[in-house]
Amino acid sequence: MMIPRIGNKVWLVVATLLCLSGVARSAQADDGVVIDVSGAKRSSYPLAIPVGVDSDAAAAKEVADVASFDMSVAGFFKVLDPKSFLADLAAEKLSIEPQKWKDVGAFGVMKFQVTASGDGVVFDVKLYEVSKGATASLAKTYRGKRKDLRKLVHMWCNEMVKFYTNEAGFFGSKIAFTVKSKKGSAIYAMDFDGANPYGVSRNESTNILPAWSNGGAIAYTSFMRGSADLYLASGGGGRPKRLSAQKGMNTGASFSPDGSQIALTLSKDGNPEIYIIKASDGTVVRRITNNKAIDTSPAWSPDGSRIAFVSDREGGPQIFVVSASGGEAKRLSFNGSYNTTPTWSPKKGANIIAYTTRDGGTYDIVTLDLDSKKMVRVTQNEGSNEEPSFSPNGRVIAFARSGGGSGVYIANADGTGKATKVWSGSATGVDWGPAPSE
């Protein structure tokens, strides 16, 4: 069997195998929510994050850098430039002088102190709403290992997002992706912000299309035994278990919401079709599609009732949806002649997919509200962008960009703001993992 060329196009991988926001501030509601995230017209909430005083200098800088990044990509906040601050930070310590922060336009101020001793660290932190004066609205103390300081800061930033919006944050989650290696390609994972990258697949073969389970395991297709088989590994890497080794291709895994089943493409009967297998042992549960066209890239809806997939049954590749129990498929995408790699928003109450489109000269990421039919462009005029994956709260999308500035990027799912690069290099098969554990 020929080894496929690994590039940015999942559709081309399959074909080769066959040859073988902003936010509106509102008055604080009864439930404590400060930011109304449902408004159509929104502006970002100004948040100040000064470097902590009376702190270990290196640790304090790390806290400020991590918190500033987290809150700037959350989709709701504008992190203010520290050069604009007027307050006497040494005199304020963990408190604030409200007028000084009002004068620079801050609505919220995060003040912290971090003490490192040996391999341990204590992180004291407070959040102030400037309009409410010098009484902290939220305060926490975290203790842990110095090496885990980033994790503690992510936990605190999730607390801030929860306080302001009553939505869970995604800080501390991970992203998996495929990178080229000397003899093929490898599966990597990293913190969502690009920190701590590590190899998941540990062989010298071709490994593609990682998919997280809600329990933190990763399924991926590997040619380590010469054929396109599906493997399951711990999210931290290690020895994988071969889960599906049907004749032909075993690709494009998508876990059911409860993690018990996997939708994938099998060509065991001669044509690529969507099947469902057991996540425990790879036993085929049922066949979902039955069409002479290529059916691939399944994506399970958050409620488990539907599966989106890609098919060329009406010409070029387009997005279709079918019941998870099988039946007639319905076409969803109608813009352009090339639409692939669907993924569902996990946001509660949403009925939205994101996908790769080529309705112009390059590949871009769009979202489509299946109820209103509204399409939003997440990327445009910035390289070739493919393979979107939503953050655990549905507010941000990760994707791969090729060409100038190639790498893994994250961007607001509502199309506002600029995309942020979190990893540099040639990447494909991006998949965002589950929400971080508390």
- CATH at 260: 2.120.10.30
pLDDT for res 237: 87
The alpha carbons of the chain give a radius of gyration, in whole angstroms, of 23
- pTM for the full predicted model: 0.92
224 and 196 housed in the same domain: yes
Tell the residue number behind the tokens 């690009």, with chain if given: 194
pLDDT for res 201: 94
pLDDT for res 402: 93
When mean pLDDT is compared over 9-13, 86-90, 403-407, the highest value belongs to: 86-90
pLDDT for res 43: 77
**Looking at per-residue confidence, does 92 or 38 come out higher?**
92
> What CATH number has the domain bearing residue 53?
3.40.50.10070
124 and 177 housed in the same domain: no
* 369 is a domain residue: yes
Question: Which is it for the CA torsion 283, 288, 290, 291, positive or negative?
Answer: negative
Contact 78, 46 (CB under 8 A): yes
246 and 103 housed in the same domain: no
Tell me how far apart the alpha carbons of residues 277 and 182 are, in angstroms, rounded to a whole number. Answer: 32
Tens-place pLDDT, residues 32-89? 557 877 754 567 999 999 999 999 999 999 999 999 999 999 999 999 999 999 999 9
227 and 313 housed in the same domain: yes
Q: Is 65 buried (19+), middle (13-18) or exposed (0-12) by CB count in 10 A?
A: middle
Task: Judge whether residue 224 has pLDDT over 90.
Answer: yes
Last residue of one domain, picked from the residues 111, 135, 165: 165
Mean pLDDT of all residues in the chain?
91
325 and 416 housed in the same domain: yes
Q: Mean pLDDT, to the nearest integer, of 93-110?
A: 98
96 and 203 housed in the same domain: no
What percentage of the chain carries pLDDT values higher than 70? Answer: 91
250 and 117 housed in the same domain: no
Q: CA angle at residue 39 from 35 to 45, to 5 degrees?
A: 35
* 29 is a domain residue: no
Q: Which residues of 280-308 are buried (b: 16+ CB within 10 A; e: fewer)?
A: eebeeeeebbeeebbbbbbbbbbeeebbb
Total structural domains in the chain? 2
159 and 298 housed in the same domain: no
183 and 269 housed in the same domain: yes
251 and 379 housed in the same domain: yes
Tell the residue number behind the tokens 């690529």, with chain if given: 272
For residue 155, the surrounding DSSP H or E stretch is helix 149-165
324 and 356 housed in the same domain: yes
Last residue of one domain, picked from the residues 165, 185, 219: 165
16 and 155 housed in the same domain: no
Least confident of 10-14, 94-98, 175-179, 359-363: 10-14
Q: Mean pLDDT, to the nearest integer, of 220-242?
A: 95
Q: Mean pLDDT, to the nearest integer, of 196-214?
A: 95
Give the pLDDT band of residue 21 (cuts 50, 70, 90): very low
- For residue 161, the enclosing domain spans 34-165
